[in-house]
Homo-oligomer: A and B are copies of this chain.
Amino acid sequence: MLPDSDYKKLTAPESVAFVGVTKRTGIGSINPLEVLLKRGYWGRIYPVNRQGGSILGYQAYTSLLDVPEIPDLAVICAPRDAVPELFGQCAARGVKIVIITAQGFFDGDERGRLMQEELLDMAAQNSIRVLGPNTLGIVNNYHNFCTSFINFINPVKPIGITCQTGTFYLGASQLCTGIGILVDTGNTTDIDVSDVLGHLARDPRLKVINIHMESLKNGTKFMEAAKDAVPLTPVVIYKTGTSAAGSIAASSHTGSLAGEDKVFDTAFKQCGLFRAADVEEMIDLNKAFCTFNGIKGNRIGIVSISGGAGVMAVDACIRYGLEIAALSKTTFEQLNELFPPWARCGNPMDMWPASMFNGYQYSYRRILEAFMEDPQVDSVICMTGSFLDKEEDFLDVTGVIREIAGKYPDKPIVVSTCGNRYRDYEQELEKDNNVVYYFSLERAARALSALYKYHRLIKKKVYSTAIPVSPGQNPAGKILAGKAAGNLEQTEALKLLESCGIPVVRWEKAKNIEEAVSLAEKIGYPVTMKVISTDIIHKSDVGGVRLNIGNPQQLEEAFTEMHGEIHRRQAGAKIDGVLIQEYLPKGTELLIGCKRDPQFGPVLAFGTGGVFTEILNDVSLRILPLSKEEFMTMINETKAGKILAGARGTTAVNFDMLTDCLASFAQLVMENPSISEMDINPLLAYADRIVALDARVTLGKVN
């Protein structure tokens, strides 16, 4: 997080210099000073332009060095090639916060990348914090401040925003519904979302935060910032660049399952962020969070103009995990008298038959009031018609709904309509900022569901203490000491598991056929034989696994056959011997894996194991570290977990045993940074025993 003073200088400066600002003015002139003046900024402004003279009534300094004070903030608004010199002026004048708007750095060619590196060096040497390059900078609508060079439409809403593209900055009026404070980090060379998130979350004027994220350098820092922010203010994130995930080669089980976007998704969930599937979800959640301060539960009442729309509303509620409220007896008693004798009165309430006898306005008011009074209803979805011309609109209940909403501030009312005057309805209904209109019932239910999740679950979430780690100071550290990068020999991998207390099947390593026979005798038949080779990733694929070998003769045959088949399928693979293992009866095949993600660090995977892991794709992911309860949640999320719990007459597996195993595995990876990837597959689970049959460990370089 940025120090308070830096954040203030960046977003609410008392003085600002526009360095390299153009002297052109008027439409299309790309002049940020002109835009700022239109916003009514009251701080001190210093234009810098080498030609001197004046700009828009302000004296233009030929150099920043001539400016009479050190400005809180400098905005360098010249094209790329002029930036280094102007940045030098900032350093020389002692400016500590600099925004660089120009494109053509990391987003451009090789020269641009070099220039950006040089700027970063200069910034570090002079303790300057940089926003950008390739950014429109800041909007602070509570400070009449804005660094945009385009005079965009900029409605004020209590929303904090960080983004990595000008599209979000300029389009926030549509994509977020408006702006309170916005920070565009552009190429994000220095100041990033994690630097400002905590400040936005602590700002009492902001009711929700939106993040547009395209890339992230430090996932751990982001998760810390997000976990800090979320209990204070809800955060909605729109992650782009998701399809790039497909381009990352999958080098192993865990690798292919923990595709990049899934890791982001996992991190967002772990921090309690709302991930918007599209900008409309972000807009919808913003409207809910900006309007309603809370919700007591998820029991929804539905007041509908028609039975058909009531059915749609129920579908929508169920889709988003809401409950259809069971109305209290009083409500029924009060409302029954409005309806003809043949009509069914309930929830959803099709109020049309009542309206035919008592008028639409009167019936709507009576019904909605009864719902709001009902202690078994936490929120109401209203559906009405917006299909009449304004002059003939005897169905217009916007006034009724707003009035009732005003009386019950703790029970959110959301409205959807049918008919093409819906925009008029939206405008009317939202006038007092106590009702939200949604285009569809699906969107209404989705927003209520988020409101419920935030106020009843996420805000209260307590993060359990992670298990402490002591890198290197562990038995595994000795095994790994001095090992080269690459795949660890398999017997070493098994020893690694044993070193941290994970139960491993009885095994021996044999170099030749005679040793194999003798060691099999020692273990006891039946046995399994597996090739040992760091060249072979998937042993089954090349015939390198032989199960259930019953006697020495079978073993000798299998040994010869196996070597022949491997030679045919992967000629040249170096074979270091064979592993002889106790052959075990059928159990549930599990996978535990971990991959060190470049952004987020170790990502743990748990799920269905066996050779078909990728096809079955039954895996739960989490960013480490985790508490024991979280390991349990991972297990419960998978189909494997449901089978382990004792489905269909089978005996349940001891889950404590399994969470201990996950914890040991996680600890092992966290304490040994040289492990870049590791998995146990299969881990066999029985009612009273779990046992690892195979492990694969890839070592990377330790920084």
Contacts and interface: CB of A to CB of B under 8 A. Distances in A.
A124 interface: no
A343 B174 contact: no
Given A242-B315, A421-B153, A440 B167 contact: no
A79 to B, nearest CB: 8
A82 to B, nearest CB: 14
A388 B420 contact: no
Contacts of A104: 340, 342-343, 353
A27 B394 contact: yes
A238 to B, nearest CB: 9
A341 interface: yes
Interface residues of A, number: 93
A649 B615 contact: no
Contacts of A643: 612, 615
B420 A165 contact: no
Given A103-B343, A103-B356, A243-B318, 15 more contacts: A27-B394, A107-B307, A108-B342, A108-B343, A112-B342, A150-B388, A151-B388, A151-B392, A170-B419, A240-B312, A241-B315, A242-B319, A246-B318, A541-B648, A611-B649
A167 B418 contact: yes
A278 B442 contact: yes
A306 B642 contact: no
A41 B164 CA distance: 57
Given A353-B104, A418-B170, A647-B615, A308 B214 contact: yes
Contacts of A699: none
A440 B153 contact: no
- The CB with the most chain B CB atoms within 10 A, among A150, A308, A340, is that of A308
B164 A308 contact: yes
A312 B165 CA distance: 11
A686 interface: no
A155 B586 CA distance: 66
Contacts of A647: 611-612, 615
13 contacts: A165-B306, A167-B383, A171-B386, A171-B419, A174-B386, A174-B420, A212-B308, A240-B315, A241-B315, A242-B318, A243-B318, A279-B440, A279-B442
A540 interface: yes
B419 A153 contact: yes
A648 B311 contact: no
Interface string A644-655: 000111100000
B388 A152 contact: yes
A332 interface: no
Interface of A: 27-28, 30, 80, 103-104, 107-109, 111-112, 150-153, 155, 163-168, 170-171, 173-175, 212, 214, 240-243, 246, 277-280, 305-309, 311-312, 314-315, 318-319, 340-344, 352-353, 356, 383, 385-389, 392, 394, 417-422, 439-440, 442-443, 538, 540-543, 586, 611-612, 615-617, 639, 642-643, 647-650
Contact of A170 (B164, B385, B586): B385
A549 B166 CA distance: 71
Contacts of A307: 107, 165
Given A315-B242, A341-B109, A440-B279, A387 B152 contact: yes
Contact of A171 (B212, B387, B611, B615): B387
Contact of A280 (B306, B422, B439): B439
A422 B311 CA distance: 32
A642 B611 CA distance: 13
* Copies assembled: 2
A113 to B, nearest CB: 10
Contact of A175 (B168, B341, B418): B418
B311 A241 contact: yes
Contacts of A340: 104
A680 B243 CA distance: 40
**Which of A155, A167, A173 is the most central at the interface, judged by chain B CB atoms within 10 Å of its CB?**
A167
Contacts of A586: 586
A538 B151 contact: no
A350 to B, nearest CB: 9
A168 B418 contact: yes
A214 B308 CA distance: 8
Contacts of A617: 639
A703 to B, nearest CB: 29
Contacts of A422: 174
A155 B420 contact: yes
A108 B343 CA distance: 5
Nearest to A107: B307
Nearest to A642: B615
Nearest to A104: B342
A240 B538 CA distance: 47
Closest 10 CB pairs of A and B: A165-B308, A171-B418, A108-B342, A173-B420, A243-B318, A541-B649, A152-B387, A28-B394, A109-B342, A278-B442
Contacts of A175: 418
Nearest to A389: B153
Nearest to A168: B308
